[in-house]
Amino acid sequence: MGCKISTEFCADNPVASTSKVHPSDLATSSLPIKPVEFYDPPQPVNNDQIFRKVSLTKKESKEKETRRISLQVEPKKVKRSSRREYLDFPEFATSSHKVFIAELYHGKSTAKWNFQVIPMLTTFFSSSYTRIQRSKNTASRRFSIDTSRAKSNQFVVSLCAKKIGIIEYPEGRPDKQPSDVYWHNVVLSDMNKIVTSPHSKVNKFPGMTELAKKISLTHAISSMQKLFPDEYAFYPKSWFLPAHLTDFHTYYRKCQAAGKMEMWFIVKPDEGAQGTGIYLISNPSQIRDVDQQQLVQEYIADPMLMGDKLKFDFRVYGVIKSINPLSIYVAREGMARFCTEKYEKPDSSNFKNLYAHLTNYSLNKANEAYVHSNTLQDQTKGSKRLLSTVFHQLESRGIKTKKLWHDIKLILVKTTLAMLPEIMLHYEHHFYDSPGPQCFQIMGFDVMIRDDGTPILLEVNAAPSLTADHVVPYPGRSLTEGGQRVRSIVDEVIKMPLVRDTLLLIFPTRYGAHSGHLLFLDKAMYIYMQFVQLRNNVNITGAGLKQFVRKCNLADVMPIAQVDVKVAEINYYFTGDRQASGNGLPFHAFLMFLFFVAEKKFHMESDLLAKVQRLLSFCDMSLRHYGVRSARLRRAEVDSSIGNVEIYMLPSRMARNRSGRYGQKEMDANNNPNSFSHLPRITERL
Ligand code: ADP
């Protein structure tokens, strides 16, 4: 059986997975481009606050930068408890992923709790979130970033790197040493040749470009829609052509038979972007080329409109910090893109007017009615606005923006969960012969709001634009006659903090760097958990220990017959009681047992830490034969001789019955070391 197992699975790197950054770090050092004071819009932004800030900073613009920082508007006083939300996802609890949503909350020197962390599942780490205060001293070690393949991202990335003290190598490192971070503008197929060190981080997941394309995304969401129809109702009904043409016809006829005459669909080429090749139809016979790979989607004809009657949608940015454990951050600031002509429900007279139906910047900028914004005041009426501004505008129209934002975050999480299996698969596939670096990625989620306030996901962008400039027409002329490239204030306000906070997010802080290596015993805990009857006890019994020794193939150094003697000895050490313990050994007593076994089995190693590390890896390997029981152990195993891929999925450890308690069935299934057979095993032919 040819097993390929990588020892590092993305953010398995303990340093990276535990570090939490406090963005007040951001309010330091030189602020590279103007207008820096705009970088921290609170959410939702109150326009008065923006204006006040602008006027203050104008007045003080000649002052020193530190002065400017102190003039920043005080963040809205929100009670810490009220800014924390808990999401309950019983249906996703079948995975032992820890899912964090935190909001990148931009550079408040006074804010204490800038990241909003929402642990979706109770795992061992979910409570270990620590607030990290800014260090007075700069980090002792300077990190490096290779931007030689960042292309259009380079401007923003390079400024952010400079701002937070990361050394940039725009041409790659001359000394050929690996950089700490590689920033690419697209997913490169030879990423494994460029990023060779498992300690490096790279801003793209392999395969993500493909996975985020319209058809792949629809596949991923459709699977989830079949399993959780209500949870995934946020994605419009879709058909991929040519394969689903008959289904589409059948659906159309069914609707007609049910008396639904006014139906509109939107046709999008799979490879398309920026609105190219998109058109509206009201009848399947209007599809231009039925043999082309494309997506036909139910057209959402009731978008929410504001006073100007222009259709708009949001680009919300999510950062997938790691996939194991799954850790997603949602940027609090985003973009709202507006159409340039008034919206009316599609009909035969207006369905070709894409300026009213599509919100794409690249399309609308060609329209004379496009409103460029040169200041933050302008953008409140511009064609491209801050998400927070529009939220504020919606709020003043009576929309419950808190709920809306909550629902949007759920869409981001659910969509990422739908894409996750394939992200993992691509990662393992791409780095099948190497440990692989830690990947992270900024994703753009396009979300439109229905008239009734429900958000709808339109598409996911694996490489959202990170440019911070735009072309504006010369005065009195149209853009078709050329224009001038100028900085876009709206883009700066959104993208600078996004990139800067993402960089901060992936680097260990002072605390993470100093103590990341201490995150180590969780591995022992995962093993321990598998041999404890958690329903009854948190201690491991003698019988559990014997199972552990047997399943982990340790009987050569710890004969089964001697386990009871050892347990009694350790028990005495812990309780002072010479009688054999009926309650079993607590975790730290189990650790003592582990240390003892490690000393015997790996005596050639120099110190206890190395011995225990070896033992834990050995146990992981041994336990794989019985099915994988924790996220850390999950691996795709490839049997090359018969061409099968076996993916061991996780047991539904967290499944609860109605009373909120663990069901007997799940408990037996998950915690009885004799019953490994329940573990779902997916075997596919390659
Ligand atoms: P592209 O990748 O080419 O930008 P999108 O799927 O984002 O393609 O669609 C472009 C625009 O069309 C969106 O920004 C939105 O304004 C509009 N749109 C897309 N799908 C729908 C839909 N199902 N209902 C209503 N409007 C849509």
* Atom of ligand 1 lying closest to residue 301 CA: 25
Tell me: the pLDDT tens digits for 490-536? 898 899 888 988 887 777 554 444 544 555 666 777 788 778 876 67
Which pLDDT score is estimated for 70?
23
Reference 673, options 525, 584, 524, 548; nearest CA is: 548
Averaged over 93-98, what is the pLDDT? 27
Distance in Å, CA 458 to ligand 1 centroid? 6
In a domain, 19, yes or no: no
Predicted confidence band at 627 (pLDDT cuts at 50, 70, 90)?
Answer: low
Per-residue model confidence (pLDDT) at position 324: 67
Looking from the CA of residue 275, the nearest atom of ligand 1 is: 3
pLDDT at 166: 86
The mean pLDDT value for 130-137 works out to: 31
Report the separation in Å between the CA atom of 231 and the middle of ligand 1, taken as the mean of its atom positions.
Answer: 21
Instruction: Tell me, using a 6 A CB cutoff, whether residue 435 lines ligand 1.
Output: no
Q: What is the residue with the minimal CA distance to atom 15 of ligand 1?
A: 358
From 359, 458, 459, 460, mutation site for ligand 1 pocket: most ligand atoms within 8 A of C-beta: 458
Are 245 and 304 a contacting pair, CB within 8 Å?
A: no
Give Cα 338 distance to the centre of its chain: 26
Q: 240 and 359 share a domain?
A: yes
In a domain, 37, yes or no: no
Question: What is the mean pLDDT of the segment spanning 93-99?
Answer: 29
641: left (phi over 0), alpha (psi -120 to 50) or beta: alpha
Q: What is the pLDDT of residue 664?
A: 37
- pTM, to two decimals: 0.65
Of 279, 351, 446, which is best to mutate to test ligand 1, by the most ligand atoms within 8 angstroms of its C-beta?
446
Question: Do 326 and 474 reside in the same domain of the chain?
Answer: yes
Number of H helices, E strands in the chain: 21, 21
- pLDDT range class, residue 436, cuts 50, 70, 90: confident
Q: Is 12 in the pocket of ligand 1 (CB under 6 A)?
A: no
Verify whether ligand 1 is closer than 6 Å to residue 446 (CB atom): yes
Q: Residue 96 above 50 pLDDT?
A: no
Residue 683 located in a structural domain: no
One domain for residues 434 and 474: yes
Same domain, 274 and 388: yes
Assign 446 to helix, strand or coil.
Answer: strand
Residue nearest to atom 23 of ligand 1 (CA): 299
Whether residue 289 sits in one domain with residue 270: yes
Q: What is the mean pLDDT of residues 116-131?
A: 25
What is the distance in A from the centroid of ligand 1 to the CA of 275?
7
**Would you place residue 671 in the very low, low, confident or very high pLDDT band (cuts 50, 70, 90)?**
very low
Q: For position 310, what pLDDT does the model report?
A: 97
For residue 166, which amino acid is it? I
Which comes out higher in pLDDT, residue 661 or 616? 616
Q: Judge whether 409 lies within some domain.
A: yes
Q: Is a pLDDT exceeding 70 seen at residue 68?
A: no
Whether residue 664 is contained in a domain is answered as no
Q: Inform me whether the pLDDT recorded for 223 exceeds 80.
A: yes
Contact status, residue 109 vs residue 336, Cβ threshold 8 Å? no
Supply the pLDDT for residue 169.
Answer: 96
Across the range 151-162, mean pLDDT stands at 92
- C-alpha to C-alpha distance for 95 and 80, rounded to whole angstroms: 29
Q: Is residue 420 part of a domain?
A: yes
Under the banding of pLDDT at 50, 70 and 90, the label for residue 469 is confident
User: Do 521 and 508 share a domain, yes or no?
Assistant: no
266 lines ligand 1 (CB under 6 A): yes
Which band of pLDDT confidence, cut at 50, 70 and 90, is reported for residue 45? very low
For ligand 1, whether the C-beta of 299 sits within 6 Å is yes
Q: What is the per-residue pLDDT across 201-215, written as a single tens digit (0 to 9) for each?
A: 999 999 999 999 998
| pLDDT in the model for residue 272 | 75
- Say if residue 120's pLDDT is above 60: no
CA–CA separation, 50 and 33 (whole Å): 18
* pLDDT for the residue numbered 519: 55
For residue 149, tell me if it sits in a domain: yes
pLDDT digits (tens, 9 = 90+) for 236-285: 999 999 989 999 999 999 999 999 888 999 999 987 778 889 999 999 99
Residue nearest to atom 12 of ligand 1 (CA): 358
297 Cβ below 6 A of ligand 1: yes
Q: Give, rounded to a whole angstrom, the gap between the first and last alpha carbons of the chain.
A: 15
Regarding the beta carbon of 45 and ligand 1, being less than 6 Å apart is answered no
Same domain for 287 and 415? yes
Please indicate, yes or no, whether residues 522 and 508 belong to a single structural domain of this protein: no
How far is residue 200's CA from residue 191's CA, in Å, rounded to a whole number? 12
> Does 300 contact ligand 1 (Cβ within 6 A)?
yes
Residues 6+ apart with CB under 8 A from 154: 147, 170, 183
| Better-scored residue on pLDDT, 477 or 552 | 552
- Tell me, yes or no, whether 451 lies in a domain: yes
Residue-level pLDDT at 149: 96
Question: Final residue of a domain: which of 468, 484, 512?
Answer: 512
**How far does residue 457's CA lie from ligand 1's centre (Å)?**
9
Q: Decide whether any atom of ligand 1 lies within 6 Å of the 277 Cβ.
A: no
Indicate the residue among 154, 186, 202 that finishes a domain.
202
How would DSSP label each residue in 659-679? TSSBPHHHHHHHH-TT-GGGS
Q: Which residue among 218, 278, 339, 415 is best mutated to probe the pocket of ligand 1, counting the most ligand atoms within 8 A of its Cβ?
A: 278
Ligand 1 atom closest to residue 303's alpha carbon, by position in its atom list? 25
pLDDT (0 to 100) of residue 535: 67
CA distance 612 to 194: 33
- The reply to whether 592 and 564 lie within a common domain is yes
Spatial distance between the Cα atoms of 677 and 686, rounded to a whole number of angstroms: 23
| Ligand 1 centroid from CA 268, angstroms | 8
The reply to whether 365 and 424 lie within a common domain is: yes
Q: What angle do CA 138, 437, 685 make, to 5 degrees?
A: 160
What's the pLDDT band for 563 if we cut at 50, 70, 90?
very high
* pLDDT-above-90 percentage for the chain: 37
Of 483, 512, 541, which one is at a domain's C-terminal end?
512
The confidence band for 154, taking pLDDT boundaries of 50, 70 and 90, is very high
Domain of 154 in residue numbering reads as 144-202
Nearest protein CA to atom 18 of ligand 1, as residue? 358
Report residue 312's pLDDT band, with 50, 70 and 90 as the boundaries. Answer: very high
Residue 627 vs residue 582, higher pLDDT: 582
Return the CATH number at 355: 3.30.470.20
Domain of residue 594, CATH code:
1.10.238
Separation between Cα atoms, residue 282 and residue 351, nearest integer Å:
9
Residues 523 and 581 in one domain: yes
Name the strand (E) or helix (H) holding 167.
strand 167-169
**Mean of pLDDT values over 123-147:** 45
CA of 361 to the centre of ligand 1 (A): 12
Weakest mean pLDDT among 38-47, 86-95, 569-578: 86-95
Q: Rounded distance, CA 311 to CA 275, Å?
A: 15
pLDDT of 315-371, one tens digit each? 999 988 877 666 788 888 899 999 999 999 999 999 999 999 999 998 999 898 999
| Number of domains the chain is built from | 3
> With bands split at pLDDT 50, 70 and 90, how would you rate the model's confidence at 425?
confident
> What value does the mean pLDDT of the chain take?
71
CB of 270 closer than 6 angstroms to any ligand 1 atom: no
- Report the half-sphere exposure of 241 (CA within 13 A, side-chain side): 20
**Cβ-contact 591, 521 below 8 angstroms:** yes
Contact 597, 615 (CB under 8 A): yes
**Burial of 348 from C-beta contacts in 10 A (0-12 / 13-18 / 19+):** exposed
Lowest mean pLDDT among 144-153, 381-390, 396-405, 570-579: 570-579
Residue 559 and residue 485 share a domain: no
For residue 653, how far is its CA from the centre of ligand 1 (angstroms)? Answer: 39
How remote is the CA of residue 155 from the centroid of ligand 1, in Å? 28
* Whether pLDDT at 17 is above 60: no
